[in-house]
Amino acid sequence: MILWLLILKSFGKKLEGLNKFIGIFSHFSSDIVPNTPQKYKLWNGLSLINIKERDKNKNIFLNPRTNKKSMINQSASFEKPFKIEVEKEPTIKFIGSSQAPEEYKKNPFYNNYNWGMADWEEKELFLPDNSDEAISFSIASHELGHLVNKGRIQPDRGNFQNTYQEELRAWAVGWNYLEKHLADYYDNLKSIDDLKGIEEKVKSKMIDITLLTEPFYQNQGEKYAEEQRESFLQTEQGKHIKAEIDGLKGFIEETLANSGKEAFLKKTDWSRFSNVIKKVLVDIEKDNELDVQFNKESNPDFHNEDYIRQVFASENKRDIESLTAYYHFTPDEVRLFSYFAKLRQKTLDEMRPQIEARRQNNPIATEDELNMGAYQESIEPQVRPAVFDLRKKGYATYGSGFSGFDSQEIYFEKKYLKNFQLPAQMVDEFRSRGVIIEIKADRIKLIFKKEFDQEEIKALWQEVESYFPDLRELSPPCQLRQAISFRERQKGLTIGE
């Protein structure tokens, strides 16, 4: 469910499917594009398809006697040297709910038996793994529906209707995707039919629970979802909903007993279940890809990050309105995105003459700049001190600055932060100040929920940066093409002078 009661994150961005690249990377301008993970994934995806095609051809066996082509019979071959088809792995990560991050489990409305969540932004799907077939499949049918992009309504913490409509949509579209692969789990149609009946009962129960949550959305006094949820739990309605969620197990047991379908209370066979879900995910991703293609063709500009930023920076009311209608941006988002688009533009406008002046007046790079492969002037000033500090601590950075529409990032060449976690208290404290910190193995991202000026962002970065351990090594010279040619040009300079 994407009920605000049940999730911690805020589903704010609606720019999925947008051909996202990481804006101007201050060190290295937009040449960085081919190295961005999104592009890499796309490339990966393409190469996978190619492998699949190639392997298919390998299996075509030309019989020299009859000169007829035939497919190699896979099961007849003892060693199975060829695969008929390379199984395609979905991009969306599929995770058992018991493996969900602790912060999700801390939610008082979390329930080990039935909690699941589809996160289409992070591309993660959690489904109950300590459960019975009735719940695992029913929740799967719903959460998978959320992952279908077409027609998605962005849930909104301040708007029950949006959330409710999205819940209904997910229930409406998920089952058809799931059903196609259920024969991999159940060997008779009767079971699939029975399961559909169960899913419908779970669905109407869940929709009832969803309707109960309406008062939650009216309580906007608290600024953050956690507080809003904590105080809601204190209300009669909140307690009632928790009891309903916790009572689902009993509800299922009773419903199945009444209809003689106790067989579905068996513990879910997780490996076979995963198999089914992964196939569904591949189908959904394929449809999403087609949908993006279709949207891009009908509204090409709306899928160009530069164009979107230009619109936000331009203050052109009509353009902003059509963009807002397309992505369902909230007024808060429009305000924030416009603010940061303008701040970014102002920053870059100020940087250009400084970089030029540096080239003209003082072209010889310092040791640190050689190592980084760029003049310090080409790093956005608000992130500059943090980048230099990180490099001193041994982190090889390769990009930094504004990214997306409300955030800043610093990227690393290596996965230094794979096992790193910031203190929870610090993360909470930042959140209460309007900054969400996201740590990935090779990047740090600050997402701003309110307006910050350049000096404030600079201070935030330095504060965050101070939590990162000293690696006690020299950061290796940046190996990006641009960095290497920067050093080449510098050689010319030193020799020439």
Q: Between residues 11 and 28, which has the closer beta carbon with respect to Zn ion? A: 11
The one segment of 2-10, 222-230, 373-381, 406-414 that binds Zn ion by CB under 5 A: 2-10
Per-residue CA distances from 316 to 32, 230, 302, 321 (Å): 29, 40, 15, 9
- Of 34-73, binders to Zn ion (CB under 5 A) are none
Minimum distance of Zn ion from residue 199's CB (angstroms): 14
Q: CB-wise, 110 or 448, nearer to Zn ion? A: 110
Least distance to Zn ion, CB of residue 204, Å: 14
Work out how close the CB of 253 gets to Zn ion at its nearest, in angstroms, rounded to a whole number.
23
Q: Quick one: 11 or 302, whose CB is closer to Zn ion?
A: 11
Nearer to Zn ion, 167 or 409 (CB): 167
Give the type of residue at 477: P
In the complex, least distance from residue 200 CB atom to Zn ion, rounded to whole angstroms:
16
Asked if residue 95 lies in contact with residue 125, where contact means CB atoms within 8 angstroms, the answer is yes
CA 112 to CA 244: how far, in whole Å? 14
Number of residues that bind Zn ion (CB under 5 A): 4
Query: Between 118 and 396, whose beta carbon lies closer to Zn ion?
Result: 118
* Least distance from Zn ion to the Cβ atom of residue 287, Å: 19
Closest CA to 3 of 309, 217, 250: 217
Comparison of 167 and 442: residue with beta carbon closer to Zn ion: 167
Of 114 and 268, the one with the shorter C-beta distance to Zn ion is 114
Task: Decide: 169 and 2 in contact? Cβ < 8 Å.
Answer: no
Helix (H, G, I), strand (E, B) or coil at 216: helix
How crowded is the C-beta side of 139, counted as CA atoms within 13 Å?
A: 30
Task: Please provide the DSSP assignment of 255-272 as one string.
Answer: HHHHTT-GGGGSBP-HHH
State in angstroms the smallest separation of the CB of 174 from Zn ion. 9
Chain-centroid distance, C-alpha 66: 53
What minimum distance in Å lies between the beta carbon of 94 and Zn ion? 17
Measured from the CB atom, is 1 or 308 closer to Zn ion? 1
Closer residue to Zn ion (CB): 175 or 340 = 175
- In angstroms, how far is CA 256 from the centroid of its own chain? 36
Which helix (DSSP H) or strand (DSSP E) does residue 322 occupy? helix 317-327
Residue 163 has φ and ψ, to the nearest 5°, of: -65, -45
Rounded to the nearest whole angstrom, what is the least distance from the CB of residue 167 to Zn ion in the complex? 5
Nearer to Zn ion, 173 or 341 (CB): 173
**Residue 1 interacts with Zn ion (CB under 5 A)?**
yes
Nearest distance, CB of residue 328 and Zn ion, angstroms: 17
- Any contact of residue 2 with Zn ion (CB under 5 A)? yes
CB of 143 to Zn ion, least distance (A): 7
- Is 6 near Zn ion (CB under 5 A)? no
CB under 8 Å to 439, separation ≥6 — which residues?
Answer: 417, 420, 421, 422, 445
Q: d(Cα 35, Cα 410) in Å, to the nearest integer?
A: 14
3-state class of 175 per DSSP? helix
- Minimum distance from CB of 39 to Zn ion (Å)? 31
Cβ distance 336 to 46 under 8 Å?
no
Residues 144-203 that bind Zn ion (CB under 5 A): 167, 170
Closest to Zn ion by CB, 2 or 447: 2
Of the pair 11, 337, the CB lying nearest Zn ion is at: 11
For 21-163, strand residue ranges (E) read 60-63, 68-71, 93-96, 117-119, 124-127
Stretch that binds Zn ion, among 1-9, 21-29, 69-77, 325-333 (CB under 5 A): 1-9
Q: How far is the CB of 333 from Zn ion (least distance, A)?
A: 21
Q: Which residues sit opposite 408 in a β-bridge?
A: 402, 446
H helix runs in 11-76, sequence order: 37-58
Pairing mode of beta strands 124-127, 93-96: parallel
Q: What tokens were used for 434?
A: 């309007």
The residue type of 274 is S
Measured at CB, which residue is nearest to Zn ion? 1
Name the 3-class secondary structure at 283.
helix
Nearest to 127 by CA among 149, 108, 147, 150: 147
Note the residues at the interface with Zn ion (CB under 5 A): 1-2, 167, 170
